[in-house]
Amino acid sequence: MTDNRTERLLEILAVTYGTRPWNWHTRQTPFQVLIGTVLSQRTRDEKTDEAAKALFSRFPSPELLASAPEEEIASLIRSANYYNTKAARIREISKIILEKYSGNTPDTVPELMQLPGVGRKTAACVMVYGFRKKALPVDTHVHRISNRIGLIKTRTPEESEKELWKVVPEDYIMHYNEFMVKHGQNICRPISPRCHECPIVEFCEYGLERQRA
């Protein structure tokens, strides 16, 4: 689907969810977005923000985090899942950024992906939310909903990222992840999507199929 249906449904999602990032940790400095995104792995948004706020109120920079005691980091981020593992990673990431990049968070996906615990999706989130540069973070929500709507036909998030670059209009690249994540949390749930109250049902292959059934 590369016609203006794509543009129209994205316009509707922009009105529905807004274009300002919803989560606190995605509106901070690039370094804090990076650490916040590591905290967000397998953790709910509210818990991620709770951990990020506690951590950055005490240690807001790579300089301070690199020399912070690991147990103290773990205790501050207790609301995030896997907080012990994440505390070790956060300290290690901070040290690398300090030593290798003079305290500046790298702004390319390949460099970000060299950091411990940083995969492609996390790196892309840092590009979008930290640096406001074009990238397409694709997680299971983004992969699932894009396929349900019929924007793409893919089997894996990796394939989806490649295909989405071809169909998402340039103006919406930066917002696409946020729209899909919010839509997945609110309406297009993994099980029992609420198609009857979905604002983009008329543009969705799955929703239209259900209406016809």
CB distance 65 to 91 below 8 Å: yes
For helices 173-186 and 4-17, the axis angle rounded to 10 degrees is: 60
To the nearest whole angstrom, how small is the minimum distance from the Cβ of residue 192 to ligand SF4? 9
Cα 145 to Cα 142: distance, rounded to the nearest angstrom: 6
Eight-state DSSP code of residue 136: -
Q: C-beta of 207: minimal distance to ligand SF4 in Å?
A: 3
Task: Compare residues 34 and 180 and give the one whose CB is closer to ligand SF4.
Answer: 180
When the beta carbons of 68 and 145 are compared against ligand SF4, the nearer one is: 145
- Residue with nearest beta carbon to ligand SF4: 207
Tell the burial category of 197 from Cβ atoms under 10 Å away from its Cβ (0-12, 13-18, 19+).
Answer: exposed
Q: Please identify, using beta-carbon distances, which residue of 120 and 175 lies nearer to ligand SF4.
A: 175
Which tokens go with 84?
Answer: 């012990």
Q: Please report how close the Cβ of residue 10 comes to ligand SF4 at its closest, in angstroms.
A: 12
> Which residues lie near ligand SF4 (CB under 6 A)?
145, 148-149, 187-188, 193-195, 198, 200-201, 204, 206-207
State which residue, 66 or 149, has the beta carbon closest to ligand SF4: 149
Minimum distance from CB of 146 to ligand SF4 (Å)? 10
